[in-house]
């Protein structure tokens, strides 16, 4: 789960931001903690989202410290 900055990525595809956020981390757990912190600080919840084309409301993003499970988005219809 290591992100690197690609010369072919466009500035608005998120690759550069992701690389900037987790670039100094090595372990999956550390990367997920940094990403979770960035998401929770940047988003004002609840937020309207679309998942597989279905409109939902994002009510929370959680990370319980298990890298195999990853981040969990809590949504409602």
Identify whether 23 is part of a domain: yes
Identify whether 9 is part of a domain: no
User: Would the pLDDT of 10 be above 60?
Assistant: no
Identify whether 22 is part of a domain: yes
Provide the domain count of the chain.
1
pTM, entire model: 0.74
- The pLDDT of 20-43, averaged and rounded, is 93
Identify whether 5 is part of a domain: no
> Residue 75 half-sphere exposure, CB side, CA atoms within 13 Å?
15
Identify whether 1 is part of a domain: no
pLDDT at 13: 76
Q: What is the pLDDT of residues 34-72, one digit of tens each?
A: 999 999 999 999 999 999 999 999 999 999 999 999 999
Could you give the 3-state DSSP secondary structure of residue 76?
strand
Residue span of the structural domain in which 28 resides:
15-76
pLDDT at 17: 87
User: Would the pLDDT of 11 be above 60?
Assistant: no
Identify whether 34 is part of a domain: yes
């Amino acid at each position: 789960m290591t992100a690197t900055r690609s010369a072919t990525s466009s500035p608005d595809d998120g690759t550069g931001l992701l690389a900037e956020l987790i670039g100094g981390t090595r372990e999956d757990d550390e990367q997920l903690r940094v990403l979770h912190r960035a998401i929770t600080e940047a988003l004002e919840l609840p937020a309207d989202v679309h998942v597989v084309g279905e409109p939902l409301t994002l009510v929370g993003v959680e990370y319980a410290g298990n890298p195999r499970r990853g981040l969990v988005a809590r949504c409602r219809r």
